A and B are shown apart, each in its own frame.
Chain A
Amino acid sequence: MTGDQPSKDGATGTAGQPEKRTGPEPRLVGTGIFSATVKDTIVTTVLAIILALLIGAVLIAISNSDVLDALGYFGVYPWDTFTRAGDAIWVSYTSLLKGSIGSLDAIQATLAKSAPLICAGLGVALAFKAGLFNIGAQGQIIAGALAAGYVGFTWTSLPIGLHLLVSVVAGVVAGGIYGGIAGVLKARTGAHEVITTIMLNHVAGFALAYALAREIYQVTGSDERVSPPVADSATYPSLLGVHSGVVVALLAAMLVWWILERSTLGFELKAVGANPDAAQTAGMNVAKVYTVAMLLAGAFAGLAATMQINGDQAQISDTLIGTIGFDAITVALLGRGSPLGTVLAGLLFGALQVGGVSMQASTASTPPELALVLQSLIVLFVAAPAVVRHLVRLRDEKQDSTFAAKGLSA
């Protein structure tokens, strides 16, 4: 698990920066970053989605009770099996589409679901660029949620705009500090960030449970493990029916793009991610870069927490965060570490999760777990363009071993 050598496919080409792909590239890549032209990227991603949907179709068919009934007399009248399977697949996928982007309501739901995924995904992607595998988004989100929520439902005497601002900043700072712990430990003691972030996730989970069992995080006079709702003055104002946190998420993506492509810090991040020894020799403070990278990653995860907390008068509970922190890892990977890619991947996953619910509600009553299977299959195929090409017999234009960069850095 070393990231101590430059990756083999050294290139910075990301979907967001196609014009930089002319001439030989500087060997500056974080880990897990894609090196392909925009056209390639789009083609493989679309094919990956199609392949995933095909496998999903098989799962829909075998999970449908009508189809299973028809299979019972397959020898007598096989046609029934196929028509019923076709029906189930058609109903499931159309309700997936309708439920996620078919109406204004659906689009609003998708956007709201995507916003935290995008923010947390940006944090994971940023750490990736520095060669750090941040599994800790979940814990960082919880830390952010506890802080943003506390400010959100207690400091109600603050004026409207300020209350929101203070609450969001509290979430971002708390997430940043929590992420920073892993960074400092890595920089000071060399403790592997994979271990520390895993442990910090567990610790955060128990801290959340602890907080919810205390009076200050409970509705007065109630013993339920649910916090009071965040005050009106601390919620993101509504914009065209969606909370404006979505806009903040997009701004965050632009900020990450600026950090990575235009700032000295971004250059240092990528240099350390590509080869920490070389970066050290070149005079960069690798320990500082690790710390800052994890601080920033945590801050974006904290911002993701505010999407949940300040989005819609949320009450903190042990289910509010769900698995956003882990989904964020797949979002960052599908987005190939680029800000634009992360936004698109976040939107796709948000749509799949929202659509998954309406798939269950449809007449085919397809289990919503299918959405999770689809998500992982899509990322799997996107990560392996060679598989996609092999399966659809595309001409192998050039041997780009996607993501051939090394994974974990010690």
Chain B
Amino acid sequence: MSISADSTELRTAPDAPRVRDRADLRRQVKLVVLFAIAAVILLLFALSIDEPTVRYSLSDVYDPSQNHDANGRAVVWVTFALAAAAMLGSLLNVIPKGWPTALVSVVVGLGFYVGLTFWYFADQPGDLASSFVVTNPLPQAVNYATPLVLGALAGVLCERAGVINIAIEAQLLAGAFFASVASSMAFSSAAGLLGGILAGVAFAALLGVFALKYQVNQVVLGVVLIALALGLTDFLLGQIPSSGENKDLNQLLSAPVTMEKVPLGALADIPILGSALFNQTVLVYIMYVSVILVWFLLYHTTWGLRVRAVGEHPKAADTVGIRVNRVRWSAVLLGGVFAGLGGVFFTVGSTGAFTNNASNGAGFMALAAVIMGRWHPVGATCAALFFGLMLTTQDQFGVMTKFPTELLGAAPYLATLIAVAGVIGRVRPPAADGEPYVKG
């Protein structure tokens, strides 16, 4: 941030030459274009609304008494003003680099989201108007984000230690399957957590053995482990008899006890955020603790310093007496715990019994969150929450047919593309990511 402050001063100081490097200029152009596109779209939305009344509810449960009416057109105009102001700001180059830019981008992004939602729910056919209500998307967003956050934490831990973990998807799948089996066998969702953790750690151990002991290329390894997890869970699922063939055995292996929402007392009554953050399953609370734990471990403990050291410069770390591969092993195995927990979401944490390919690419989304969050646990969590919000929007918009549902489905991924290409851009991974360390 000090550099950005300098460059602004350089530019504004009367006797300083007007020197700006091209990267800075390109960044400005990119922002202007991005904000301009947002503003133009919002303008079109605002102009196209005929019947502006939009019904919304701050709660996420259906309760007509809590519904309010808002003027959708006014809301869209406000969001347009936000985007236009941001565009002007970046055009005049008055938004400093670093966190102010990030903040402005987030505000415009959220504004765009709100504007889109209100435009989408405006102009309803008269008799249906009362049945389409904008509900609070946050509770479901947090819920959807849970496996992504936990998977991303595994990715962050591994990659900070210099081990590429493409296999988050494999860990999620294995976690989901064995959580389902363990929960069914023990008739308890807590056993499901344990089963998920064990499976996640088992796949982490495979990753460790092949990546650290046998120095297999870690990208190859990740892809192979995903294929292995897919094949194995599919194969094992096929071994569980259907309830028609053998009812008892089917009950024993694939009838997991799922988790219930546990409201956290008064916290759950806070408007808007309360139901989003504090009326969730135990798994979601574990997710909160995990994020804080990983952040604390990485940045405030000796172990974390060592993890980051072996990920950046293993040779230097070795020189000062850190056992590189031992530290890497610990990071990979701890990552397995979180990824396994993430897998629990897909069975015990939500729907119940395991189905073929239950995680359905969530591991790849978690990997994207790791990179978008720049290998930082909090950054990755924010990226995962963004994905969660997008997935929720898809659900909410799906009840109406203003857009074809298939295109709505693609929206979260397009949004990620735009965010990555437009705002985030080039990222720098840990320097020794993917490099096996051989002493000598």
- Which A residues are within 8 Å of any B CB, using their own CB? 1-2, 31-32, 59, 62-63, 133, 135, 185, 188-192, 194-196, 198-200, 202-203, 205-207, 209-210, 213, 326, 329-330, 333, 367, 369-370, 372-373, 375-377, 379-380, 383-384, 386-387, 390, 401-408, 410
Contact = CB atoms under 8 A, between A and B. Distances in A.
Among A63, A191, A404, the most chain B Cβ lie within 10 Å of the Cβ of: A191
B313 interface: no
Given A2-B431, A198-B365, A387-B214, 4 more contacts: A32-B219, A206-B410, A367-B239, A402-B217
B214 A386 contact: yes
Contacts, number: 181
Contacts of B231: 369-370, 372-373, 375-376
Contacts of B238: 63, 367, 369
B413 interface: yes
A199 B416 contact: yes
A203 B410 contact: yes
Given A203-B410, A369-B234, A1 B434 contact: yes
A316 B290 CA distance: 44
A372 B234 contact: yes
A198 B410 contact: no
Interface stretch (B193-201, B270-278, B422-430): B422-430
Given A1-B434, A410-B426, A199 B368 contact: yes
Contact of A189 (B215, B217, B367, B426): B426
Contacts of A200: 413, 417
22 contacts: A1-B434, A188-B421, A191-B420, A194-B371, A195-B367, A199-B368, A202-B410, A205-B410, A207-B410, A209-B406, A210-B407, A326-B227, A369-B234, A370-B231, A376-B225, A377-B228, A379-B227, A401-B436, A403-B217, A405-B217, A408-B219, A410-B429
Interface in B392-418: 404, 406-407, 409-410, 412-414, 416-417
A329 B166 CA distance: 13
B296 interface: no
Contacts of A213: 404, 406
A196 B413 CA distance: 9
Contacts of B427: 190, 192, 410
A203 B416 CA distance: 11
Interface in B243-296: none
Contacts of A380: 210, 216, 221, 224-225, 228
B348 to A, nearest CB: 23
* Interface SS, A side: helix
B409 A329 contact: no
A401 B234 contact: no
A103 B372 CA distance: 51
Contacts of B368: 194-195, 198-199
B425 A190 contact: yes
Contacts of A410: 426-429
B34 to A, nearest CB: 11
Contacts of A194: 367-368, 371
Interface in B207-222: 210, 214-221
B47 interface: no
B435 interface: yes
B361 interface: yes
A402 B220 CA distance: 11
B304 to A, nearest CB: 20
B420 A195 contact: yes
B169 to A, nearest CB: 10
Contact of B217 (A1, A32, A202, A207): A32
A133 B429 CA distance: 15
B359 to A, nearest CB: 14
A205 B230 CA distance: 19
Contacts of A407: 164, 217-220, 434
B224 A333 contact: yes
A191 B234 CA distance: 34
Nearest to B424: A191
A405 B137 CA distance: 44
A333 B210 contact: no
A329 B421 CA distance: 24
B232 interface: yes
B41 interface: no
Contacts of B225: 376, 380
Nearest to B235: A369
B364 interface: yes
A189 B421 contact: yes
Ordered nearest first, which 9 A-B pairs have the shortest CB separation? A190-B426, A403-B217, A407-B219, A372-B231, A210-B406, A376-B227, A206-B410, A373-B231, A202-B413
Contact of A408 (B232, B410, B434): B434
Given A196-B417, A369-B231, A384 B372 contact: no
B317 interface: no
A387 B212 CA distance: 12
B30 interface: yes
B220 A32 contact: yes
Contacts of B210: 380, 383-384, 387
Given A199-B417, A403-B220, A59 B372 contact: no
A383 to B, nearest CB: 5
Given A194-B371, A203-B414, A401-B436, A384 B214 contact: yes
Contacts of A2: 429, 431, 433-434
B228 A404 contact: no
A199 B406 contact: no
A136 to B, nearest CB: 11
Nearest to A189: B421
A373 B421 contact: no
A401 B215 contact: yes
B202 interface: no
Contacts of A192: 371, 420, 427
Contacts of B217: 31-32, 383, 402-405, 407
A330 B224 contact: yes
A1 B433 contact: yes
Contact of B235 (A370, A379, A383): A370
Contacts of B406: 206-207, 209-210, 213
Among B372, B413, B435, the most chain A Cβ lie within 10 Å of the Cβ of: B413
A190 B427 CA distance: 8
B173 to A, nearest CB: 13
A383 B420 contact: no
A213 B408 CA distance: 14
A206 B414 CA distance: 11
A376 B215 contact: no
Contacts of B425: 189-191
A355 to B, nearest CB: 15
Nearest to B232: A373
